[in-house]
């Protein structure tokens, strides 16, 4: 449904990451702790993809929320031990050395376990395997406690945030108004998403787009002909590069973003703090972008090109 309001309304929300980055700055000195493998952040991000998409069958738009919850909890756990940045939700720092790696694992595990209890067995196996990579003992145990506390803080914060509310889109069919699209002719997907409390924004409408062009306007006519002649299955004016770009963005964008971040974290040799922060910024702003986009779709239920005629 992104096509009905335009991706521009989503990308404009990326500016929220600036305020998030500013809020995550600090001069707190890092605590002493055992060596931490930054790869654990990407590993549990991939576990999250399996849990949220393959096992939880979560729609792509609402999946952004759960990835945001996971990565914010992981970030919180990491900086609670390491310092360097302000946490998303404050929590006590351990008085003695604690394993950042164990904290990150515990934070991701407990958030996923809470929201996707059907995946408990698979997650428990992943959890045990990940903790086995950290030397057992008091340092690891303290890290686990930090991670559990970080997860619990996010879960408490997001209680009653509007997820799965009984909201539906009801419109009167007329030109320019959204309608179910082939082949499924299903109702609007997860309409409640536009009413969820954002992770960073003040409200879902903070960066509301101006709305679509009226169907009798010159702007609408220009867009109509562009879609018609560049979007045609056969005999289009589309270049090979444009076709390749369209096919690329037809895939699951969130999975592609994550793959790119995991690659960049490895290539740039980011440490565990930098990696956790990068994923937290990306997934929290993605969640808010989707919330804002879905609210715009609900407030301005514009038809999709395939239903024009």
In a domain, 161, yes or no: yes
Question: Residue 158's domain is classified under what CATH number?
Answer: 1.10.606.20
Q: Which two tokens mark 27? A: 């001069």
- Give the residue from 91, 90, 100, 132 showing the smallest Cα distance to 36: 100
Q: Around Cβ 306, how many Cβ atoms within 10 Å?
A: 11
Does the pLDDT of residue 11 top 90, yes or no? no
In a domain, 14, yes or no: yes
| DSSP code per residue over 196-230 | SPPSSSSSTTTT----PPPTTSHHHHHHHHHHHHH
Residue-wise pLDDT for 132-184, tens only, equals 999 999 999 999 999 999 999 999 999 999 999 999 999 888 999 999 888 88
In a domain, 166, yes or no: yes
In a domain, 201, yes or no: yes
Kindly report whether the global pTM for this prediction surpasses the value 0.95.
no
**Model pLDDT, residue 189:** 94
In a domain, 68, yes or no: yes
Q: What is the residue range of 271's domain?
A: 2-214+253-307
In a domain, 174, yes or no: yes
Greater confidence, 112 or 91?
Answer: 112
In a domain, 193, yes or no: yes
In a domain, 245, yes or no: no
Question: Count of domains in the chain?
Answer: 1
């Amino acid at each position: 449904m992104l096509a009905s309001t335009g991706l521009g309304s989503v990308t404009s929300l990326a500016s929220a990451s600036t305020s998030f980055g500013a809020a995550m700055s600090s001069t707190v000195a890092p605590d002493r702790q055992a060596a931490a493998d930054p790869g654990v952040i990407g590993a549990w991000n991939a576990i999250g993809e399996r849990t949220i998409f393959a096992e939880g069958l979560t729609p792509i738009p609402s999946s952004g929320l759960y990835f945001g919850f996971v990565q914010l909890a992981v970030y919180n756990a990491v900086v609670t031990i390491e310092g360097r940045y302000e946490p998303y939700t404050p929590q006590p720092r351990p008085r003695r050395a604690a394993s950042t790696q164990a904290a990150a694992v515990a934070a991701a595990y407990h958030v996923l376990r809470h929201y996707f209890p059907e995946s408990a067995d698979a997650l428990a196996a992943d959890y045990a395997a990940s903790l086995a990579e950290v030397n057992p003992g008091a340092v690891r145990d303290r890290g686990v406690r930090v991670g559990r506390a970080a997860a619990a803080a996010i879960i408490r914060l997001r209680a009653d945030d509007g997820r799965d509310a009984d909201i539906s889109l009801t419109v009167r069919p007329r030109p320019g108004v959204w309608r179910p699209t082939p082949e499924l002719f299903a109702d609007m997907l997860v309409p409640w998403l536009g009413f969820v409390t954002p992770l960073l924004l003040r409200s879902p409408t903070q960066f509301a787009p101006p709305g679509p062009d009226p169907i009798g306007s010159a702007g609408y006519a220009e867009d109509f002909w562009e879609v018609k002649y560049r979007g045609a299955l056969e005999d289009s004016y589309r270049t090979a590069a444009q076709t390749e770009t369209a096919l690329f963005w037809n895939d699951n964008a969130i999975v592609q973003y994550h793959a790119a971040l995991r690659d960049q974290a490895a290539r740039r040799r980011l440490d565990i703090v930098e990696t956790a922060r990068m994923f937290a910024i990306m997934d929290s702003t993605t969640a808010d972008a989707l919330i804002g986009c879905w609210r715009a779709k609900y407030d301005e239920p514009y038809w999709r090109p395939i239903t024009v005629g």
